[in-house]
Amino acid sequence: MRPLVGVTAWRRNLDTSIGIEPLQTLATHYTDSLVAAEMTPIMFPSGLDPAEADRLVAMVDGVLLSGGDDIDPATYGAENTDSKDIDKRADEFEIAVIETARSQDKPVLAICRGLQILNVALGGTLAQEVLSSGTVHEVIDDNTDMDELQARRHVVHLEEDSIIAGLYGSTEAKVNTLHHQGIGELSPELIVEGRTEDGLVEAARCRGDWWALGVQWHPERMDDEHQDIFDLFREKISGG
């Protein structure tokens, strides 16, 4: 049987045929990548009571922490300087999902915001704005063309003994650039897998026996080379 994977969603107000409606959203890129790796995705709605995490995680074989908007800086003891569209309920629920997945020894794959909330849940902090002209992460503003944004790439330098370097067969990966926040202080419970030239941690894994791997980029939006991350996730869920 295909493993079941709980995937966190994000609540957004979107225009529908009956007006602006609050919707639970999840890009099909995530579900398509999971299905291609022979897994079955199950949506975890955003903002549920954290007490629901234990029962939900028990139902699935692994968890994918998807992208979304910013994490409330209060969650990691900081003032809000550059965080937008925060949702404290979403943060609390996802942190509960992470803690439960760890206690139940369920593998976790964390993507973009997923890596950020994993870091925060394990005691790390975030940089609330990593975009600046002339650095690895270019400015994204209201004038940025969406096609150009989707095409942007930057290089992540991977540690030689990293899981991802083993997957890619290289110590460099060219990845997409679709975030404005990133890791600040890395949790002591995480090990660096890769950094950009300016030092920002863009990939990390958990220490110890619990398998949790996070990347700042969006492998689900890239070519088949990046599908290997989802294939590895399935292997770990299956006990490999």
Residues with catalytic annotation? 112, 218, 220
Element (H, E) at 35: helix 28-36
| Residues 85, 92: Cα–Cα separation, whole Å | 15
Distance, C-alpha 29 to centroid of its chain: 13
Tell the burial category of 43 from Cβ atoms under 10 Å away from its Cβ (0-12, 13-18, 19+): middle
Residue listed under structure tokens 């083993």 = 166
| Residues 137, 148: Cα–Cα separation, whole Å | 14
Residues 181, 128 contacting (CB under 8 angstroms): yes
SS3 75: helix
